[in-house]
């Protein structure tokens, strides 16, 4: 149990004893004491003043005295300033916590809670390579999945691959028309980039044809419909839906190129999935539910045969759920897949990591499922995140203003190499060890950068300035870990071990106290991050922990401490800090180096 909740219940009991009435959590607040005041935790008394008709000062002293009296092992002193009762935690309590947890690599993790959750993320189209926006999505989804696991849930990581549809046919047509039989192998290009090139070629050619048609007298609208390459593409989509063997063969071949490229990227960035759904398998799902919805009068049919849902009562207007010709739109299959997920996997919760541009779409989806009468509608959760924008504006693949995922990863790894060589601290590493270190640092910088901000907020990336390795960054935290390992190696080589004495621990110095108090908060942070599905809470916590440890490190020597007791205390502090850094970074998908 965290200090905050221990203090909370202690205060509730003491207040009831003092004033003979019941109190609850919501009746007062517990905060961390601001650094300019003496104390560790603060009970804010204002809210109690009215109910008890006592001045905050009197109240504070009465409560403070009783707390100290009733919990002498927990509190060592208190003071009252205005309406704030500041409490100091006893040193013995802090050292006890340290002793209990310092060597527990699972500190902060919760036992299984019998909840099964699916997290869907990544969900790329198979017609172009991944870009920076996908990376935010992937890192976010992966991290949230790990955070939920740490809190005891069973998590299924899933991806939906958008592998069919008109956009896929565009690359296929362009390949037929321009590739002259080229393959990723023949031109030595990564498969997803190779296919992406033909998607771009399609758009170039399409634009050219439209312009020519306009020149020869067509209107813009006509030209866009009549352009030969577009007509061919639409025909190909029909052929695909009818299972034309040649088209299916080409589709399979080109998709396999893309998958190979994606797999390479996923492997490098450390992303994985327990299950992949393919849109080509699921796009027909949902039609049955549309029929059911019509029977139940949840949906209605317009004169032209198209099917709609009226959500104007929910402020969501009318939404099309099936085309007039009976074919699916996006939401049709989403309805089907959403239901299939719950029924097949017996989920308690289904999380979708999707950009905030689809907020409306996801609200509608949830509402439709609710109206269809499925009780799990409330357990569909859209984890929406803001777009990654460039200083020059939005990323658009068609206009070539995207930051390619493979490129940026490569750049980060190269930057890690440059810094490492300049510092020259690991000149004895083998080539393999160096390569591994560069990956750990480069990806650490990249992931931390994308995860340290609140997912909900859109973020700006400046391609001109490379991502930093100093300050509020992954490498800063990794560096702190490496420093601790260095201490532990030194102590180990001297043949010392951490003693198991518990008595005679001298008074804690301010930075030692602060560190223990901060380490204690890790479990609460992991739990908050899970409740809010927000990895940035972990990133902020672990950065502040590293910062605090670095101050401690600069101020006090561990290996050459004043005496054995201090040395043991500081070794424990260091070991626990290292464990938590490793654990927290793992939740962000970031690895730690033993040296850097």
Partner RNA sequence: GGCCCCGUAGCUCAGUGGAUAGAGCAACAGCCUUCUAAGCUGUGGGUCGAACGUUCGAGUCGUUCCGGGGUCACCA
> Contacts with RNA in 68-97 (CB under 7 A)?
81-84, 86
Stretch that binds RNA, among 207-215, 222-230, 396-404, 462-470 (CB under 7 A): 462-470
User: Which residues, including other chains, have CB under 8 Å from residue 428's CB and lie 6 or more apart?
Assistant: none
Smallest distance from the beta carbon of 112 to RNA, in angstroms? 24
Nearest-angstrom CA–CA distance, 220 and 222: 5
Smallest distance from the beta carbon of 460 to RNA, in angstroms? 5
Q: Give the one residue of 72, 228, 305, 499 binding RNA; rule: CB under 7 A.
A: 305
Nearest-angstrom CA–CA distance, 593 and 342: 40
Q: Give the one residue of 292, 310, 357, 378 binding RNA; rule: CB under 7 A.
A: 357
Contact positions with RNA (CB under 7 A) in 505-534: 528, 532, 534
Task: Please report whether residue 482 would count as binding RNA according to CB under 7 A.
Answer: yes
Q: Give the one residue of 151, 350, 397, 420 binding RNA; rule: CB under 7 A.
A: 420
Name residue 86's beta-bridge partners: 42, 79
285: three-class secondary structure by DSSP: coil
Contact positions with RNA (CB under 7 A) in 100-159: 125
Nearest-angstrom CA–CA distance, 529 and 20: 37
Name residue 154's beta-bridge partners: 116
Total residues contacting RNA by CB under 7 A comes to 95
**Torsional class of 590: left (φ above 0), alpha (ψ -120 to 50), beta (otherwise):** beta
Intra-chain end-to-end CA distance of the chain, in Å = 36
The total number of residues shown for the chain amounts to 596
Q: Give the residue with the Cβ less far from RNA, 46 or 185.
A: 46
Task: Please report whether residue 540 would count as binding RNA according to CB under 7 A.
Answer: yes
Contact positions with RNA (CB under 7 A) in 196-225: none
Task: Please report whether residue 188 would count as binding RNA according to CB under 7 A.
Answer: no
Task: Please report whether residue 300 would count as binding RNA according to CB under 7 A.
Answer: no
The site map against RNA for 33-62 (x = CB under 7 A) is: xx-xx-x--x-x-xx--x------------
Smallest distance from the beta carbon of 168 to RNA, in angstroms? 8
Q: Give the one residue of 51, 72, 460, 564 binding RNA; rule: CB under 7 A.
A: 460
Beta pairing, strands 84-89 & 75-81: antiparallel
Nearest Cα residue to 590 out of 459, 469, 441:
441
CB burial of residue 35 (10 Å; 0-12, 13-18, 19+): exposed
Contact positions with RNA (CB under 7 A) in 330-349: 330-331
Task: Please report whether residue 495 would count as binding RNA according to CB under 7 A.
Answer: no
Q: Give the residue with the Cβ less far from RNA, 459 or 509.
A: 459
Task: Please report whether residue 394 would count as binding RNA according to CB under 7 A.
Answer: yes
- Which helix (H) or strand (E) segment holds residue 320: the answer is strand 318-322
The site map against RNA for 370-389 (x = CB under 7 A) is: ----------------xx--
Copy the structure tokens of residue 290.
Answer: 């549309």
Nearest-angstrom CA–CA distance, 444 and 54: 54
């Amino acid at each position: 149990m965290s200090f905050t909740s221990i203090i909370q219940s202690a205060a509730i009991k003491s207040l009831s004893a003092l004033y003979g009435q019941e109190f609850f959590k919501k009746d007062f607040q517990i905060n961390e004491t601001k650094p300019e005041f003496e104390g560790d935790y603060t009970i804010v008394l204002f809210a109690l003043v009215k109910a008890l008709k006592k001045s905050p000062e009197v109240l504070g002293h009465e409560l403070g005295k009783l707390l100290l009296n009733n919990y002498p092992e927990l509190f060592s002193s208190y003071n009252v300033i205005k309406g704030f009762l500041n409490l100091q935690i006893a040193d013995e309590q802090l050292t006890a916590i340290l002793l209990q947890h310092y060597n527990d690599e699972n500190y902060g993790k919760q036992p299984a809670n019998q909840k099964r959750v699916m997290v869907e993320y990544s969900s790329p189209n198979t017609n172009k390579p991944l870009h920076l926006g996908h990376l935010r999505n992937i890192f976010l989804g992966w991290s949230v999945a790990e955070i939920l696991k740490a809190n005891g849930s069973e998590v299924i990581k899933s991806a939906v691959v958008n592998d069919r549809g008109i956009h896929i046919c565009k690359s296929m047509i362009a390949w037929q028309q321009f590739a002259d039989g080229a393959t990723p192998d023949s031109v030595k290009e990564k498969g997803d980039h190779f296919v992406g090139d033909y998607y771009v070629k399609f758009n170039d050619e399409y634009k050219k044809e439209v312009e020519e048609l306009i020149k020869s007298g067509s209107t813009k609208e006509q030209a866009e419909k009549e352009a030969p390459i577009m007509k061919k593409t639409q025909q190909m989509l029909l052929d695909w839906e009818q299972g034309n063997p040649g088209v299916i063969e080409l589709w399979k071949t080109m998709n396999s190129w893309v998958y190979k490229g994606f797999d390479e990227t996923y492997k490098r960035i450390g992303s994985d999935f327990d299950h992949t759904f393919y849109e080509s398998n699921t796009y027909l799902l949902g039609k049955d539910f549309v029929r059911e919805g019509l029977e139940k009068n949840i949906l209605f049919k317009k004169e032209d045969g198209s099917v709609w849902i009226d959500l104007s009562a929910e402020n969501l207007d009318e939404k099309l759920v099936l085309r007039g010709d009976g074919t699916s739109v996006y939401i049709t299959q989403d309805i089907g897949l959403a239901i299939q997920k719950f029924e097949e996997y017996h989920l308690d919760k289904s999380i979708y990591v999707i950009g905030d541009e689809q907020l409306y779409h996801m609200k509608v989806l949830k509402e439709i499922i609710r109206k269809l009468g499925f009780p799990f509608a409330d357990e569909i959760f859209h984890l929406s995140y803001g777009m990654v924008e460039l200083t020059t504006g939005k990323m658009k693949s068609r206009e070539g203003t995207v930051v390619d995922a493979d490129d940026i990863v490569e750049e980060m790894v190269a930057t890690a190499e440059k810094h490492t060589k300049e510092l020259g601290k690991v000149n004895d590493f083998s080539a393999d060890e160096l390569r591994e270190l560069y990956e750990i640092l480069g990806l650490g910088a990249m992931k931390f950068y994308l995860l340290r901000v609140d997912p909900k907020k859109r973020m700006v990336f400046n391609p001109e300035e490379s991502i930093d390795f100093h300050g509020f960054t992954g490498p800063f935290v990794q560096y702190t870990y490496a420093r601790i390992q260095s201490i532990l190696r030194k102590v180990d080589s001297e043949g010392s071990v951490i003693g198991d004495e518990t008595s005679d621990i001298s008074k804690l110095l301010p930075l030692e106290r602060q560190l223990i108090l901060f380490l204690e908060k890790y479990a609460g942070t992991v739990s908050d991050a899970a409740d809010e599905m927000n990895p940035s809470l972990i990133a902020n916590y672990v950065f502040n922990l590293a910062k605090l440890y670095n101050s401690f490190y600069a101020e006090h020597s561990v290996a050459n401490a004043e005496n054995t007791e201090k040395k043991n205390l500081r070794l424990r502090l260091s070991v626990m800090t290292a464990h938590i850094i490793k654990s927290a970074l793992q939740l962000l998908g970031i690895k730690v180096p033993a040296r850097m």
